[in-house]
């Protein structure tokens, strides 16, 4: 049976999967919203780990060099997977879909907004990569506003050789795990950190982090929101603000800004506060969305 409220489509970030949203979905559903999640192609149940990850004794040099089994996954595959989910969600929310993307999931929601703007009530970046045309992810990672990011210190091997941006999800090295927590989960409990890392996959296909073109007439027609995470050490606040300003300047319009005093993973540390923002976006009237008022 259809419902009158908007339906949410929630897209996870790099190395994560649909379980990202396990604390948020029940909160949205409790307020009468449909909320759909996905394992993107090459992620979660669709991920295939390099054989060297589980070989014992573990050889870090072999792990760093092995070609990724998911190297062939493309951004277009991920885009079409989410477009299909948006169409399903539209049938549940009277045609109103709020598309949310965390971190690298921002690349996919930008592409989806360009393809099916007519199905979207709003697009929401949760500390996500919202990139202007012509900017690649690795270019953004090297921008001065990203200089304090801890993420690159987790990368293993050469993405050009492996076909993926790789992290060691199975590492038992205390220093590496400490950096992993600081990067993604700085304000997350130890138990939630342990559970979250047990569900990570190690390879993000290079071909799936290639931004798609966005235009003012299509992407720009969808009201967009950005949830800034002030304690983020994967995508620092300066980098978040740079992307917001750059896309606003290139595409036109104004991104509505929301702020959480959180790490990169408020879906774990502050699910109630995050859900409140998302529910608030669903109730925003057209005039306020067009004005892009800061919350």
3-state SS assignment for residue 225: strand
Q: Is residue 250 part of a domain?
A: yes
* Neighbour count for residue 249 (Cβ, 10 Å): 9
Q: What is the pLDDT of residues 90-143, one digit of tens each?
A: 998 777 899 999 999 999 999 999 999 999 999 999 999 999 998 999 999 999
Q: What is the pLDDT of residues 9-25, one digit of tens each?
A: 999 999 999 999 999 99
pLDDT in the model for residue 209: 87
Q: Is residue 273 part of a domain?
A: yes
Per-residue pLDDT at 54 exceeds 70: yes
Number of structural domains the chain divides into: 1
Q: Is residue 2 part of a domain?
A: no
Question: Could you tell me the CATH number of the domain that includes residue 227?
Answer: 3.40.50.1820
Q: What is the mean pLDDT of residues 140-163?
A: 97
Q: Is residue 33 part of a domain?
A: yes
Within the chain, strands assigned E span 7-11, 35-37, 97-102, 120-126, 164-166, 203-205, 224-229, 256-260
Mean pLDDT of the chain: 94
Q: Is residue 1 part of a domain?
A: no
pLDDT in the model for residue 2: 41
pLDDT in the model for residue 20: 98
Q: What is the pLDDT of residues 221-246, one digit of tens each?
A: 999 999 999 999 999 999 999 999 99
pLDDT in the model for residue 289: 40
pLDDT band at 295 (very low <50, low <70, confident <90, very high): very low
- In angstroms, the CA 22 to CA 249 distance is 35
pLDDT in the model for residue 94: 75
- In angstroms, the CA 118 to CA 96 distance is 9
Backbone angles phi, psi at 239, to 5 degrees: -70, -40
Q: Is residue 47 part of a domain?
A: yes
pLDDT band at 264 (very low <50, low <70, confident <90, very high): very high
pLDDT band at 285 (very low <50, low <70, confident <90, very high): very low
Q: What is the pLDDT of residues 240-251, one digit of tens each?
A: 999 999 999 999
pLDDT above 90 covers a percentage of the chain that reads: 89
Which residues span the domain enclosing 195?
Answer: 7-291
Per-residue pLDDT at 4 exceeds 80: no
By CB neighbour count within 10 A (0-12 exposed, 13-18 middle, 19+ buried), where does 4 fall? exposed
- In angstroms, the CA 24 to CA 11 distance is 12
pTM for this entry: 0.94
Structure tokens at 6: 């908007």
């Amino acid at each position: 049976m259809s419902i009158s409220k908007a339906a949410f489509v929630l897209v996870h970030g790099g190395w994560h999967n649909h379980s990202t949203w396990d604390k948020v979905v029940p909160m949205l559903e409790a307020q009468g919203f449909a909320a759909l999640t996905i394992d993107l192609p090459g992620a979660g149940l669709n991920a295939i780990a390099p054989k060297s990850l589980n070989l014992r004794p573990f050889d870090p040099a072999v792990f760093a060099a092995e070609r990724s089994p998911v190297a062939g996954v493309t951004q277009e595959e991920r885009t079409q997977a989410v477009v299909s989910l948006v169409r399903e969600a539209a049938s549940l929310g009277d045609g109103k879909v709020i598309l949310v993307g965390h971190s690298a999931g921002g690349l996919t929601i930008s592409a989806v907004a360009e393809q099916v703007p007519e199905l979207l009530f709003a697009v929401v970046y949760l500390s996500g990569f919202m990139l202007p045309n012509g900017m690649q992810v690795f270019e953004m990672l090297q921008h001065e506003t990203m200089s304090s990011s801890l993420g690159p210190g987790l990368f293993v091997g050469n993405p050009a050789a492996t076909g993926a941006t790789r992290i060691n999800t199975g590492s038992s090295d205390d220093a590496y795990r400490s950096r992993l927590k600081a990067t993604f989960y700085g304000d997350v409990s130890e138990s939630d950190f342990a559970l979250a890392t047990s569900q990570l996959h190690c390879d993000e296909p290079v071909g799936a982090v290639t931004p798609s073109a966005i235009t003012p007439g299509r992407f720009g027609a969808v009201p967009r929101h950005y949830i800034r995470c002030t304690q983020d050490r994967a995508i620092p606040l300066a980098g978040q603000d740079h992307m917001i300003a750059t896309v606003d300047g290139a595409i036109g319009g104004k991104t509505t800004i929301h702020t959480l005093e959180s790490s990169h993973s408020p879906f774990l540390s502050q699910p109630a506060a995050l859900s409140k923002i998302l529910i608030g976006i669903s109730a925003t009237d057209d005039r306020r969305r067009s004005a892009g008022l800061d919350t």
